Amino acid sequence: MADSHAKHHDYHLVDPSPWPFLGSMGALVMAIGGVAWMKYINGGTFPIFGYDIANPWLFFIGLAIVLYTMFAWWSDTVKEAHEGYHTRVVSLHLRYGMIMFIASEVMFFVAWFWAFFDASLYPNEAAQYAREAYTGGVWPPKSIEVLDPFHLPLYNTIILLLSGTTVTWAHHALLHDDRKGLIWGLTITVGLGVLFSMVQAYEYIYAPFAFKDSIYGATFFMATGFHGFHVLIGTIFLLVCLFRAMAGDFTPKQHFGFEAAAWYWHFVDVVWLFLFTCIYVWASAGATIAEGH
């Protein structure tokens, strides 16, 4: 009788789970809530079935559902790993999934780079579409004072490059079963991630231009802001890995959770190098640098 339940293959057939359905419903509520929030900000209405739902609360309800789903679903995945379900084949497929996710993120950032280059290479047409004043045929527009790329942006570049080094150190320590090195590497990486976010927040607060002032501000803040959001997510990802490492999780042979976090963090590093080179350095050539920035 016991043999009838024995597993004779490397594949894992998961138990029925509520998380795909709950997550999709949360995403739907969050999407509708986002539209309702924007209607609320602009003083409009958003009637559905006779009720005006123009308020920000629906978005946060959907966000709470999505976040809870993420926590519960990933907790189940960690539990499955501890129970031995992550065989060689299952681990390979998890890696394929992470690779495809990062590929989709690459295309996400391609859209923001596309918008920036479309506006910067054709400034007059961009100004016309954005209903702005004439840009003077240059980029950035003549009225814009830009950030000094070799001040805070360079500082943040060094921070991220160092963090890529420390997360690699942590991975190397894990492969050699050096638990102390793993924890220290992750701790320093998380600290550098927090420092990056603090520097970028300071930069945003004192930026000499705003999101709504021009198409330059809009494309700048969309590209760098979404990258900053990914840094925040990556920092949380690595922080969870740090807590798991301190609890004794991960072995040299089985550590996909940490590996996925490291891949994601290196992806964030590479995107920043493109942002720094194109949006901060290249786009500021010949422009007026704001004093103290």
Boundaries of every domain in the chain: 1-85, 87-293
If we measure between CA atoms, which residue out of 268, 237, 80, 59 comes closest to residue 157?
A: 268
Cα atoms found within 13 Å of the Cα of residue 50, Cβ hemisphere only = 0
- Rounded to an integer, the average pLDDT of 4-21 is 74
Q: pLDDT for 202-255, tens place per residue?
A: 999 998 888 877 888 889 999 999 999 999 999 999 999 999 999 988 988 888
Q: What is the pLDDT of residues 32-89, one digit of tens each?
A: 999 999 999 988 888 888 888 889 999 999 999 999 999 999 899 888 888 888 888 8
The pTM of the full predicted model, rounded to 2 decimals, is 0.87
What CATH number is given for 1-85 in this structure? Answer: 1.10.287.70
- 273 touches 246 (CB < 8 A): no
Q: What's the pLDDT tens digit per position in 130-182?
A: 555 545 567 787 778 889 899 999 999 999 999 999 999 999 999 999 999 99
CB 281 within 8 A of CB 218: no
Contact 54, 46 (CB under 8 A): yes
Q: Which of 234, 240, 137, 243 is nearest to 193 (CA)?
A: 234
CA distance 65 to 33: 12
80, 93 contact by CB (below 8 A): no
For the stretch 100-125, pLDDT in tens is 999 999 999 999 999 899 888 877 66
**Token representation of residue 221:** 């803040």
* Residues ≥6 apart with Cβ < 8 Å to 84: none
| CATH fold of 87-293 | Four Helix Bundle (Hemerythrin (Met), subunit A) (1.20.120)
Give the burial string for 245-280 (b: 16+ CB within 10 Å, else e): beeebbeeeebbbbbbbbbbbbbbbebbeebbeebb
Q: How far apart are CA 196 and CA 198, in angstroms?
A: 5
Q: Which residues contact 83 (CB under 8 A, 6 or more apart)?
A: none
Which helix (H) or strand (E) segment holds residue 51: the answer is strand 51-52
